[in-house]
């Protein structure tokens, strides 16, 4: 069921699925000027989630992320594994 916020009219839209978006701006302001980022503010990393700063990694705030919960978990896991390997040397 949908409610039009301008005229309060109620309607029904049959769907097979829904994707909910919580926002489209990365929470990366604290890194601006320190880490390279794209025009929106997503941090540039390589496939191991390494940034240009040695020993600094990024997860779901990275450029080219799919911005889905499942990929955020995967990006975070990759960043954690990479950080662990970095600390082992």
61-70 per-position pLDDT tens digit: 899 888 888 8
pLDDT score of 10: 95
d(CA 89, CA 87) in angstroms, rounded, equals 6
- pTM for this entry: 0.69
Domain assignment present for residue 67? The answer is yes
pLDDT score of 65: 85
Domain assignment present for residue 59? The answer is yes
Tokens of 1: 């069921």
Residues in the chain where the model's pLDDT stays below 50: none
pLDDT score of 66: 83
pLDDT score of 85: 95
Helical spans, DSSP H, in the chain: 69-88
pLDDT score of 23: 66
pLDDT score of 45: 96
Domain assignment present for residue 15? The answer is no
- Structural domain including 40 reads 36-89
Distances (CA, A) of 81 to 20, 57, 87: 29, 10, 10
Quickly tell me which residue has 């989630």 as its tokens.
49
Say how many domains are in the chain. 1
Domain assignment present for residue 29? The answer is no
Domain assignment present for residue 12? The answer is no
């Amino acid at each position: 069921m949908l409610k039009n916020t301008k005229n309060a009219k109620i309607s029904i839209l049959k769907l097979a699925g829904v994707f909910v978006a919580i926002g489209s701006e990365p929470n990366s302001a604290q890194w601006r000027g320190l880490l390279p980022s794209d025009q929106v503010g997503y941090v540039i990393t390589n496939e191991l989630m390494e940034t240009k700063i040695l020993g600094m990694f990024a997860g779901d705030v990275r450029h080219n992320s799919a911005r889905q919960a499942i990929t955020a978990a995967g990006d975070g896991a990759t960043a954690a594994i990479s950080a662990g390997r970095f600390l082992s040397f």
